[in-house]
Structure 1
Amino acid sequence: MQATRRYWEMAALAGFLATFGVAIDSSVFLLGGVAAAAWLLAAQYRFYVGVRDVRSSLDVTLSPLRTQVGAEEPFSVRLTASASLSTPCSVTITPDSPVGIDDPDGWPAVSLTPDSDSATHVGTFRAPIAGEFSFDAPDVRVEDDFGLFTESFTQGGGFDIRVEPRASDKLFVGKGGMEISAGFGEHESGQRGPGVGAADLREYMPGDDISRIDWKATARLNKPHIREHDVETTREVGLIVDERSSMWDGPAGRRKIDFVREVALAFANSAATMSDPLGLYTVSEDDVQSVRASQAADVQYATIRSLFSAVGGSAMTTRSGGDDSRLSVPERANDLRTSLDGDSSVYARTLRPYFQTMHPYVEKVESSPFFTATRRVIADRSENLWLVFFTDDTHREELLESAKFASNRGVQLLVFVAPTTFFESESTPEQSYDAYLDFESFRKRLDRLTNVSAMELSPKDKRETLLRGSQPVRNRQGGNR
């Protein structure tokens, strides 16, 4: 229970009357002060009883009309409330939308009074970015009819809503200025044989299964023909999501991690559709924070989807990967440095300074959490692993060495990198453009690695604004030379 300003004003008046009555020896003022104080105590007790009755009788239900919607798609939430108000007071119920959910219409306060003890309201919300969002129980505020006291608490329950990714006009994913529009996570087997998708037609060969003969083509071509099909295969998908502090740059709902969540959810959904084994590894500041080893099970897909709604939350049980006998480039450099110890030849004396300088760098890269996660996924991999990185360009050398490690092991790697310059607000257009050119140079460096494809992941509006304004900037710079 909280007293309002009006209560303290009346309490001060009661105290003044009582004190003034004592000072001038006037029973009228004294009794007036005592009566005002007694009335305030009575009002306080009445409000206490009223709040107790409200808590016991208030029924609040907050529920969505649909529990699964698409990004940018409006959805409705219904609030119903009813209570038996035994004392004169007003009850105001206000739901609070979670961060990342827009309330374009503005949710009005739903009020109950002794004359109107039930109410229903339907509000409209929208989620710009995919993910899972939790609406908490609505806030309730009780106020007495004199405006002397208030009480605030939550009542009822909340709910979760899943916002699925879809083609978004706010998200650019591509390379070299070319945006990709195909579904993330889709893949072909690259193999031919009996299957479900028609691929090619060839003549019948002795030993072929007769059941595979395409009789229509045979009749048309006057020779037995076999129609090859794409073989259905599964591909293990390993997602490594960077959730370190730099991934939280940007405004609420449009941070790097929000855009990453949308694309990563698309991969999770695609893996579930194609029954591909799916694993999730998240990277914190100091360690591999959360590990879900690859599985092809409904509970696995559901768990990984829910984890994306709480990136940076509690870690799941971590299991360590096995040893890998093949060495990365830094590991080979470290072994070479060790092999030079005690060697007094001209060759050793020439190379030793270079490896001594490299040694701290090798240790730093190998101890980094992102590199650790990469090694763990590859150590646990199957024969057909598709590794996917979600990160930004803050830790470039670490990312580059992790990509090289995967490339040297023949792993197919897809890297989504968010340029930091699009999530900063203090840079000038010239600075932002120079930073973007530097990022693009780094992305191309990643993309040139064998078996590696590096994609830019950025807010489309900022990207278009920067590139559209870059031509006048370059012209002005050229004119000043």
Structure 2
Amino acid sequence: MRPTSRFWALAALAAAAGGWAVVVGRPVLLAGVCGVCAWLLAQQYRFVAALRTVSGALELTQSSSASRTVTGASTFLTVTARVDPAHSLTLRVDPEAPVGADGAVEPLWLDGRATETTGTYEFEWPVAGTFRVGAPTVTARDRLGLFEQRVVPDAPTPTVAVEPRRPRTVHVGEGGDPIAAGFGDHDAGRSGRGLEPAEVRRYVAGDAFRRIDWKATARLNETHVREFTARTERETQLFVDHRATMATGAPGQTKLDYARHVALAFVDQAGESADRVGCETVGDEGVTGVFEPRADLDHLRAIRRHLDALDPGDDADQRPEPTSTTGEASSPTPTAPDRVRATRQRLDGDESAFAARLRPFFDRPDAYVRAISDRPLYRAVEAAATGAGALWTVVVTDDANRTELREAVKVARGRGPVLVFLTPTPLFEPGGLDDLDAAYDAYVDFEEFRRELAALPEVSAFEVGPADRLSTVLAEAPGEDRARQRRGR
């Protein structure tokens, strides 16, 4: 219980009157002061007794219009306060706005003349995550405003799971042609006893009697045995790039939104297949999340929550300029070793002062390695590639840092197959379809890079983007030579 300023004002006035009564010798005035003090004590007792009654009878309920929503959407929170029977206090109920939501709340009032009050509040959810609505705070005050008490009663605390907006038209494919990829049972690359029949062959000495296929033996009039494909669980390491370049695109339709869609599909399919899957997310400053390969559902849910909450690496006003038609980010990018060697050979035959000044820079064979090793995606992939055992590597990124990606893929091949999912920059740049000729040229440049990656041994590379924008670019591309270029001829 806390006395209010009104109580202290009356108490101070009574104390001043009592002091004055003593000074002037007025016993009647002193008796009046004592009466005021007794009245204040009586009001305090009545407040405590009423508060005890109200605390036991107060019922608070909270409910959300939806337990799941998407970023940018709104939900409604309904708060109801009920007290029965009537009481002599004034109750102020202050709902708590959930963290991560935009919206205003106003207090609810409940006095002795009413037994129930209800308020509905609208909240907008700008960011992804799971948020809990806290219990309201109730402040009780007597009708004269002399005392008040603040309590947090028991009340439901609903949660709202906010997921990023999913892209509406997702294309995954090669050169504009969609593909369907599975993540279920995986071929172990060997034959033997297993669950999936592979082939029927002639019996040879040493084959187990129980492996004889009697139907095939009767049909072919010669003893045959059936081979099976041994199935195995695949361990997958997923790398998701959410650097600043992944912010390109309209809200809810950015590169990161499409990359996240693919990454979540891998996580979901891993759960259905009981595969071990790990995940690392890479931002501008380095690795922002690490999940070691595991197969339990809690682990997969944690990965999903982390991917749902990903944002591009930088704020919007700090994003780099759009990438050039070559697909390299605007920052300097190291040159591949073969190009360095070719340039060095040309400089050997040049005796000019300019060539003499450049020659020392091309005599440093480790410069390329050092420059690439500082890149966050390469660094993360390289660390995973140094482990033991077979590993499927899945990289979800864009085409902004081509040299880094190319070298990261080459390193990852050391532990097993590599899948690369790329978001083509031309399909996401604002106003990128205003000039369809330029958009198509940029897409062809991207497609050449994708094919270059796909041509590497043990590497498959796919494009991920908005199907409607891609079909627009391809349908409007003029020129017979461009059609041949699209088909790779």
TM interval, short-chain normalised: 0.5 to 0.7
With over 3 angstroms needed to count, the CA separation of the structure-2 counterparts of 1:136 and 1:249, relative to structure 1, is farther
For 1:388, what is the secondary structure of its paired residue?
strand
Alignment of 1:43-62 (within 5 A): 59-62=60-63
Aligned: 1:355 with 2:362: yes
Number of the residue aligned with 1:103: none
Alignment of 1:110-189 (within 5 A): 117=116, 133-137=129-133, 157-161=157-161, 170-184=169-183, 187-189=186-188
* Distance apart, 1:245 and its partner CA: 1.5
Alignment RMSD (CA, Å): 5.4
For 1:254, what is the secondary structure of its paired residue?
coil
For 1:188, what is the secondary structure of its paired residue?
strand
With over 3 angstroms needed to count, the CA separation of the structure-2 counterparts of 1:428 and 1:275, relative to structure 1, is closer
**Residue number among 354, 374, 379 corresponding to 1:372 in the alignment:** 379
Give percent identity, aligned residues only.
32
User: For the residues of structure 2 that align with 1:77 and 1:224, how far apart are their CA atoms?
Assistant: 72
What amino acid sits opposite 2:450 in the alignment? R
Alignment of 1:239-388 (within 5 A): 239-311=238-310, 355-356=362-363, 359-382=366-389, 384-388=390-394
With over 3 angstroms needed to count, the CA separation of the structure-2 counterparts of 1:232 and 1:424, relative to structure 1, is same
User: For the residues of structure 2 that align with 1:423 and 1:59, how far apart are their CA atoms?
Assistant: 48
Aligned: 1:420 with 2:388: no
* Distance apart, 1:133 and its partner CA: 4.2
- Give unpaired runs (5+ residues) of structure 1: 1-52, 100-108, 143-152, 315-328, 337-348
What amino acid sits opposite 2:418 in the alignment? L
User: For the residues of structure 1 that align with 2:209 and 2:165, how far apart are their CA atoms?
Assistant: 45
Number of the residue aligned with 2:466: 459
Number of the residue aligned with 1:206: 205
User: For the residues of structure 2 that align with 1:214 and 1:63, how far apart are their CA atoms?
Assistant: 61
What amino acid sits opposite 1:200 in the alignment? E
* Distance apart, 1:80 and its partner CA: 6.5
User: For the residues of structure 2 that align with 1:377 and 1:228, how far apart are their CA atoms?
Assistant: 35
Asked if structure 2 preserves the Cα contact closer than 8 Å seen for 1:132 and 1:308, the reply is: no
Asked if structure 2 preserves the Cα contact closer than 8 Å seen for 1:240 and 1:390, the reply is: yes
Asked if structure 2 preserves the Cα contact closer than 8 Å seen for 1:62 and 1:158, the reply is: yes
With over 3 angstroms needed to count, the CA separation of the structure-2 counterparts of 1:238 and 1:98, relative to structure 1, is same
User: For the residues of structure 1 that align with 2:184 and 2:370, how far apart are their CA atoms?
Assistant: 34
User: For the residues of structure 2 that align with 1:292 and 1:135, how far apart are their CA atoms?
Assistant: 22
- Give unpaired runs (5+ residues) of structure 2: 1-53, 139-151, 314-333, 342-355, 483-489
User: For the residues of structure 2 that align with 1:461 and 1:140, how far apart are their CA atoms?
Assistant: 47
- TM-score w.r.t. the length of structure 1 is 0.61
Deviations 1:361-403, CA, capped at 9 Å, x for gaps? 4321121111111111111241x21101011111122112212
User: For the residues of structure 1 that align with 2:109 and 2:365, how far apart are their CA atoms?
Assistant: 71
- TM-score w.r.t. the length of structure 2 is 0.60
User: For the residues of structure 2 that align with 1:267 and 1:219, how far apart are their CA atoms?
Assistant: 44
User: For the residues of structure 2 that align with 1:156 and 1:255, how far apart are their CA atoms?
Assistant: 37
User: For the residues of structure 2 that align with 1:157 and 1:237, how far apart are their CA atoms?
Assistant: 38
Number of the residue aligned with 1:405: 411
* Distance apart, 1:141 and its partner CA: 12
Asked if structure 2 preserves the Cα contact closer than 8 Å seen for 1:387 and 1:412, the reply is: yes
Number of the residue aligned with 1:395: 401
Deviations 1:109-131, CA, capped at 9 Å, x for gaps? 9x99887936699x9x99xxxx9
Number of the residue aligned with 1:196: 195
Name the larger-Rg structure: 2
With over 3 angstroms needed to count, the CA separation of the structure-2 counterparts of 1:86 and 1:237, relative to structure 1, is farther
